[in-house]
Amino acid sequence: MSELVPEPRQKPAVPMKPMGINANLLGYIGIDTIIEQMRKKTMKTGFDFNIMVVGQSGLGKSTLVNTLFKSQVSRKSSGWNREEKIPKTVEIKAIGHVIEEGGVKMKLTVIDTPGFGDQINNENCWEPIEKYINEQYEKFLKEEVNIARKKRIPDTRVHCCLYFISPTGHSLRPLDLEFMKHLSKVVNIIPVIAKADTMTLEEKTEFKQRVRKELEVNGIEFYPQKEFDEDLEDKTENDKIRESMPFAVVGSDKEYQVNGKRVLGRKTPWGIIEVENLTHCEFALLRDFVIRTHLQDLKEVTHNIHYETYRAKRLNDNGGLPPMTVETEENHESNL
């Protein structure tokens, strides 16, 4: 390796002095066209979204994901056998799809975790999941580190993790708490109450309250995390959402005729449960939340916070020397 000679760069004659003068505009210039420019560009490049679903088998994960994206996205529909044996350890299976709607292209990756919580001994069954998430961060990091790096670094990091809670009506299971405790620090977790058609309205509200309390007591921050609210507007909006989480959802990919309309639902002897009807379940809230309002924010929190935390830890851990950040070294350089 060549000799490392850190040669200090000459400072320019006139350093930057930002003076914030609010210059009054006397006419239209066209600065706001940048929005259109940006929009056009994003339509061209498209979006990536990686969503992970975690929960015991039989909770309706695949069905829910199919309902969310209104198509057969789940692993089960991609040629897997429903009668397949439950795996002996937690497996991670990622499947990619391309969705196009209204000229907008999205590359959606659904990451399924069969085998989670299904064994007799479920100790540390979150570890393969944590490992997978960190592996994606590592992959991204490595690409970023390269000297000659790609124009668009492929983003396989998990942006959102839907955690399915069993609708027992009592409280969270120890496994649920353990999982969320470990993973809420590395990924955005959105807890959902699965198969919510087994609870009445009162049971639902009580259960949700209990779950929220338990999460708070255990110090588990689910998405949208309170600490990342940027301003008052965000806070009020997110407070409302946090109050109604976890969403109690019902999924279905079958359509029925109700009041002359075709709706997605589940047919039971006592009636048809309409998935997108807010009085029946909160699926529509979940869908709007994840896709229509907060998708970009999910990605940003993953990139700006979770990824940065991972990166900083990785850099710090890798020094065999006394822990010094690059910043202190630079400060020392300038002081001495």
Nearest to 163 by CA among 288, 282, 51: 51
Interface with another protein (CB under 8 A), residue from 54, 68, 160, 172: 68
d(CA 162, CA 49): 13
* Range 154-193, binding another protein (CB under 8 A): 154-155
Element (H, E) at 104: strand 104-112
Number of chain residues interacting with another protein (CB under 8 A): 113
**Residue 254 is a binding residue for another protein (CB under 8 A):** no
Residue 82, both tokens: 């429903």
Give 25 or 120: the residue with its C-beta nearer to another protein: 25
Give 34 or 201: the residue with its C-beta nearer to another protein: 34
**Residue 283 is a binding residue for another protein (CB under 8 A):** no
Q: Is the dihedral of CA 276, 277, 279, 284 positive or negative?
A: positive
Ramachandran angles phi, psi of 209, nearest 5°: -60, -45
**Residue 4 is a binding residue for another protein (CB under 8 A):** yes
* Range 81-140, binding another protein (CB under 8 A): 95-104, 106-108
The answer for residues whose C-beta is within 8 angstroms of residue 291's C-beta and 6 or more apart is 68
* Range 292-311, binding another protein (CB under 8 A): 292-297, 300, 303-304, 308, 311
- Asked whether 164 and 192 are in contact (CB, 8 A), the reply is yes
Torsion, CA 211, CA 216, CA 220, CA 222, rounded to 10: 70
Give 85 or 262: the residue with its C-beta nearer to another protein: 262
Choose the binding region for another protein from 68-76, 119-127, 178-186, 216-224 (rule: CB under 8 A): 68-76
- Asked whether 46 and 106 are in contact (CB, 8 A), the reply is yes
**Residue 26 is a binding residue for another protein (CB under 8 A):** yes
Give 177 or 284: the residue with its C-beta nearer to another protein: 284
Nearest distance, CB of residue 20 and another protein, angstroms: 5
